[in-house]
Amino acid sequence: MRIAVIGGGPGGLYFSALVMQLDPSHEVTVWERNAADDTFGFGVVFSDETLGGIEHADPLVHEWMEREFARWDDIDVTFRGQTITSGGHGFAAMSRRRLLELLQERCRDLGVTLHFLSEAPDVAELARTHDLVVAADGLNSTVRARYADTFGPSIDVRRCKYMWLGTSKVFDAFKFDIRETPYGVMQVHGYPYDAHGSTFIVEMNEEVWRAAGFDAFATQEFAPGQSDEKSIAKVTELFADVLDGHEVMANNSRWISFSTVRNETWRHDNVVLLGDAAHTAHFSIGSGTKLAMEDALSLAACLHEGHDLTGALEAYETERKAVVLSTQRAAQASLEWFENLGQYVHQDPWQFAFNIMTRSRRVTYENLKLRDPEFVARVDRWFGEHTGDTREDGADVPPMFRPFTLGGLELVNRVVVSPMDMYCAVDGYANDFHLVHLGGKALGGAGLVMTEMVCVSAQGRISPGCTGIWSDDRAEAWRRVTDFVHAESAAKIGIQLGHSGRKGSTKLMWEGIDLPLDEGNWEVVAPSALPYREGVNQVPRELDAADLARIKQEFVDAARRADDAGFDLLELHCAHGYLLSSFISPVTNRRTDGYGGDLAARLRYPLEVFTAMREVWPAHKPMTVRISATDWVDDGITGGDAVLIAEAFKAVGCAAIDVSTGQVTPDERPAFGRSYQTPYADRIRNTVDIATIAVGVISSYDDVNSLLLAGRADLCALGRVHLYDPSWTLHAAAEQEYTGPGVRWPLPWQAGQRRPQTGRTDGPKPRLELIRHGPAGTRHARWRPSESMDR
């Protein structure tokens, strides 16, 4: 094959070397517009997985790199004058310049033609004269721009400013230095890359950047390659103690806003994207160089495995895209964490250190226990002291089994069975199914069990199978459930009250979710006459003043009956596009009276309903509110709006916000993934100072422990996992070998509180491959260049 490679960075060079190594009959030419010794940035970091792939694909390149590596295990977090260290992480880094030199040498040895200080010929001409064109031309890819209609790129420019610098100070570990300055919070990401220098990245929110005056420096015109010396001087002054008198090194160093690049496809005929041209991921979770070299390895392998060109490029994109999307999700969580860093500065340094370690959701509580059990034990002890848990001492208490007081309600642990509609009622009455369903979850160990949305009127049902509490006899049917939960478990039980609004009069979920009934329809109502689906669902009748008063009274009556029925907690459903949610969202509320308009006006009716219910609901019992913290559409509710919504409900006596998202409009485009809604609960908890309940694809006890210990939520609500395993909480305790008061096995079940024995497994236990040949316990290796050179 004749192969043209546009871009002589690590990804393009490594690909060229690999394909020539696999088949020397290829003709590979690389064009790079910069000089051979030009590089932007200082050090690059590699994961164990990447190094394993390199070692297998080209042992010689791996051997050369191995000689250059700075290796260490520790991460130091400096915050509020205290440095906390977590070990066992395993890093390998090297100079970017040296990496380029090695890859250039390998390419020359294998017969790759390299052109430096040379613009590549027109990509269309290259595509005509070559079998394959690899566009490894970086973040600002001209090839991607040329074929944008095919590639479908999106570029998300983020809210932080950062500058890539180097320093002659050789750090001995990865450094996070978080600094509260007169302008706001700034942070340093630093790590060594050889015996002579370290990467030194300064980052801050754009508001802080402007407050510090850096925007004034950035307005000047910079010549190619010129650095922002005024900003560098100020950074040197602000972080003088970190630099300790050492030189700051610049290399085309200016303020940058990170851009996340995504493409719908990476292929256009015989042109393919690689590395930053195809995708970017925030530097706080890894290296773009690492991803580019993984791309190169995959593309070379797919080309060599006997596919035709089209099949090879399809296989490459399929193989890499899933990995990259996963990396980008983690990187998005990490970059958003740093964008919102200011909301965590109130945290204790130990909790803050755990929070920063787990920010991407890839490193978790259990993962950190494997890497550094002493660190996690210390944070666990802090959490127990902070929560005032006097039931048991020591660090062997998983956070999920610490108690929590919600209003005046004592919960034995922090696991909540999330409200889940069952569609099994007849004429609104709870029945044996609900007794077994909710009673079983209470026996299963959760601290709080929530009903499905219980409707305040027949008109307010979603479907004919929804439960209700619009009469005393329907309330009495619930009494069977609450009595059982209180008598047979340590759980508390809460009721969620709501009205379906425009999403009512629909089929049972398994018959067709959100589809209208074929017969037996009832009138649906809403703030505005807007159907859920145009041409599919009913056009709702717009509520008038009399309707609003009547429905508010229905909520009040339902609250009284819920207390009579023995419920411990009441949650008002203001999420998911049901009636009260429809008032809050601008997508569904187009009213021109006092209940429509800006957010304050749209909140008016839900707040009136809440206030009226709070007056009749006993003072010692808490009330919570479930909200949709974003509508996942343009011009809908945003995370910023959710903060204001939470503040408004807090002001009228809400004890906690149950933070969900979406389901307001069928046009939504949620960023679905593991724990994808928790950043909204995190933001509300740490800015509004109100308890939050996190919900949304929280699927493991590891996730629960991680969220709670990092201070991102106070309680975690889990739905599907409790459908899969009604005794999920008990089994989570058994898996973690926890037997304390945070979970109570029913007496008849106590013989089963240990995990059943399974077949013998002789396979190797997981370990971090970068931590080699060390003694048992946490590795705290630091980078000591003199020791490495001596070896």
| CA pair distance 647, 627, nearest whole angstrom | 12
* Residues classed as catalytic: 578
Tokens of 340: 């919102």
Q: What is the largest CA-CA distance in the chain?
A: 86
Picking from 17, 70, 8, the residue whose alpha carbon sits closest to that of residue 43 is 70
365 close to 702: Cβ distance less than 8 angstroms:
yes
Distance CA 691, CA 374 (A): 29
Type of residue at 786: S
Query: What are the C-alpha distances in Å from 124 to residues 4, 63, 116, 132?
Result: 11, 38, 20, 11
Alpha-carbon span 719 to 712, nearest angstrom: 19
Here the tokens at position 128 are: 């005509």
In this structure, the strands spanning 415-417 and 448-455 are: parallel
Closest CA to 266 of 281, 277, 255, 253: 277
**Which of 590-593's residues contact partners 24+ apart within 8 Å by CB, and which partners?**
590/527, 590/528, 590/530, 591/527, 591/528, 591/542
Instruction: Check if the beta carbon of residue 301 is closer than 8 Å to that of residue 59.
Output: no
Determine the Cα–Cα distance for residues 91 and 439; give it in Å rounded to an integer.
Answer: 49
Show Cβ contacts of residue 185 under 8 Å, excluding neighbours closer than 6 positions: 178, 179, 204, 205, 208, 341, 342, 345
Q: Is 737 left (phi over 0), alpha (psi -120 to 50) or beta?
A: left
- Of 362, 400, 363, the C-alpha closest to 383 is 400
Alpha carbon distance 557, 543 (integer Å): 20
Q: Which amino acid is present at 273?
A: L
785 neighbors 72 (Cβ within 8 angstroms)? no
Token representation of residue 45:
């970091």
* DSSP label of 752: G
User: DSSP code of 140?
Assistant: T
For 358-403, where are the E strands, in sequence order? none
Q: How far apart (Å, rounded) are the C-alpha atoms in residues 718 and 57?
A: 43
